[in-house]
Amino acid sequence: MSLKTLVFAGGAIHDYKAVGSAAKAALEAADGFDVTYVEEDLDVLTSLADYELLVFHYTVGEITDAQLNGLSNWLSKGNGYAGIHSAADSFRGSPGYRSLVGGHFTTHPRYRDYQVSLVDTEHEITQDVPEEFIVRDEQYILDYDPRVHVLATALWKGGAMPVAWTKPWGEGRVFYLALGHDGPSCKHEQFNRLLVQGSKWAGTKPAKGE
């Protein structure tokens, strides 16, 4: 069975067309996803009933109460959300959305090469991912809920900053991946592996008791 998946991309600042199309291509190349692709129309968040998984890349903008409630209620019923990079910089005026994701963007250093290190090597999302690997990307510095389950980090000013995490939202699952600033960074093998495995995890309903 394939997960009914909506890949959504839009917003300002980032090249959402490149990131959105890269996410769509990665999921379509993997087994287990039936992908629909939508750009810009946030009203789709009020009508998610046909989907089990939302893969989301958006920057700044505003979300209405109806759109946020649609997303939140759908997710809490046991569906999945996978946020890419600026999904943590969407809807800066919405504390409810920030709570759902588990954190939000505060700043970033220059686009550069940096090392990502796995924290949880046993999680199904990190299977077959090297314990350490180099990316060329824009590192997001995040203010995040300490209750999120951090999967990977990268150093910033001597401290570890999350690169990927998971968290629950009601009966649903949230996966956030800070990588994926632009088209070239989305070509990285480990970006694609984490995106695919994280999306599959998010869209899979947990067994009772999990």
Query: For 85-94, how does the pLDDT look when each residue is reduced to its tens digit (9 = 90+)?
Result: 999 999 999 9
Cα separation, 79 vs 89, in Å, equals: 22
Cα separation, 177 vs 166, in Å, equals: 9
Query: For 154-207, how does the pLDDT look when each residue is reduced to its tens digit (9 = 90+)?
Result: 999 999 999 999 999 999 999 999 999 999 999 999 999 999 999 999 999 877
Is residue 68 included in any domain, yes or no?
yes
Q: Does position 9 have pLDDT exceeding 70, yes or no?
A: yes
Give the number of domains in the chain: 1
In angstroms, the Cα distances linking 104 to 36, 99, 159, 165, 175 are 26, 9, 17, 12, 14
- Return the CATH number at 96: 3.40.50.880
**171 close to 76: Cβ distance less than 8 angstroms:** yes
Is residue 58 included in any domain, yes or no?
yes
Is residue 9 included in any domain, yes or no?
yes
Domain coverage including residue 69 = 3-104+164-203
Query: For 24-61, how does the pLDDT look when each residue is reduced to its tens digit (9 = 90+)?
Result: 999 999 989 999 999 999 999 999 999 999 999 999 99
pTM over 0.95: yes
